[in-house]
Amino acid sequence: MTIKAIIVDDDFKSRELIHHFCEIYSNDKMTIVDLCSSVDEAIISIANNKPDLVFLDIDMPQKNGFELIRHYNVVPFEIVFVTGHANEYIEAIKCSALDYLMKPINPLNIKSIIDRFEHKTEISSNQNRFEVLKNNLGNTKKSIILPNNDGFKVVVIDEILYCETSNGNGKCTIETTSETIVVSKSLKEIFQLLADSSFLKVSSSAVINKKFVKSFHTKNKKLTLLNDYSITVTEYNKSSLMDAISQ
């Protein structure tokens, strides 16, 4: 199946460059059916062309890229966000497990995006990711999406007690108030997704939510959480840990 795509960007040169890269690096798996300079143009084009994929610039005048998402109750296509700024939007997009391109665009990333698109689950499950993005942009309860063998899990950040890795097996255990989740991500990747002052990296193998700290024992450097699970602290002493938790 050939992927139908449109490009939405207010900058002419940027639209043409993405178009050029898509033609060269998509290996005939994708066809650009339209180029739009605004959200309003894109809404009309989407209705007419029914694309599978939209390359969407975030930083546009009048209406930014997120206004396109808000236009739909159910987003009937995949989105790759395009931006020239590593701003707070990128963190919201990462938490939602959605794709993005940074300007200046590396053309090899086009190939990676097409490969990922071909392995995406159906649009109905993709909609969950858009809902997470909308929530994260709207300053409501923040969530992250974590892939697993069956698909993915939507996890509310405030419900995470700790994240821990061991034995260098490339997997991370995430304990929440309701369940245990094991994902094939490094602790560093998970910590970056959390991007929240409530979390502390207390050792090379553990990140804790300071809201769930119950006690700390100086002698054995064990920190106990409200669920009575204990974690060894190596990156803080008593004083610095008290300061970090109280902030």
Higher per-residue confidence, 117 vs 15: 15
User: Which pLDDT value is given to residue 32?
Assistant: 95
Give CA–CA dist 236/221, Å, rounded: 9
Degrees, nearest 5: CA angle 192-193-199:
70
- Least Cα distance to 11 among 22, 3, 2, 19 occurs for 19
User: Which pLDDT value is given to residue 88?
Assistant: 61
Q: Where are the domains of the chain?
A: 3-137, 146-246
pLDDT 10s digits, 89-121: 777 787 776 788 888 888 888 888 888 787 664
Give CA–CA dist 218/243, Å, rounded: 15
CATH architecture group of domain 3-137: 3-Layer(aba) Sandwich (3.40)
Give CA–CA dist 108/101, Å, rounded: 11
Q: Which fold has domain 146-246?
A: OB fold (Dihydrolipoamide Acetyltransferase, E2P) (2.40.50)
Q: Is the dihedral of CA 109, 143, 152, 187 positive or negative?
A: positive
Tell me the H-state helices in 158-233: 187-194
Give CA–CA dist 118/15, Å, rounded: 23
Higher per-residue confidence, 159 vs 151: 159
User: Which pLDDT value is given to residue 127?
Assistant: 67
Q: Is the pLDDT of residue 206 over 90?
A: yes
Higher per-residue confidence, 163 vs 194: 163
Please say whether the beta carbons of 155 and 141 come within 8 A: no
Beta strands in 132-198 (DSSP E): 143-148, 151-156, 160-164, 172-176, 180-183
The model's pTM is 0.64
CB contact set of 154 (below 8 Å; sequence gap of 6+): 128, 132, 143, 144, 145
- Fold match flag (3-137 vs 146-246): no
Q: Is the dihedral of CA 118, 137, 244, 216 positive or negative?
A: negative
User: Between the CA of residue 12 and those of 54, 133, 220, what are the distances in Å?
Assistant: 16, 27, 62
Q: In the structure encoding, which two tokens stand for residue 198, read together?
A: 């409530």
* Neighbour tally for 112: CB within 10 Å: 13
Percentage of the chain modeled with pLDDT above 90: 43
Q: Is the dihedral of CA 121, 124, 128, 130 positive or negative?
A: positive
User: Which pLDDT value is given to residue 123?
Assistant: 45
Q: Would you place residue 153 in the very low, low, confident or very high pLDDT band (cuts 50, 70, 90)?
A: confident
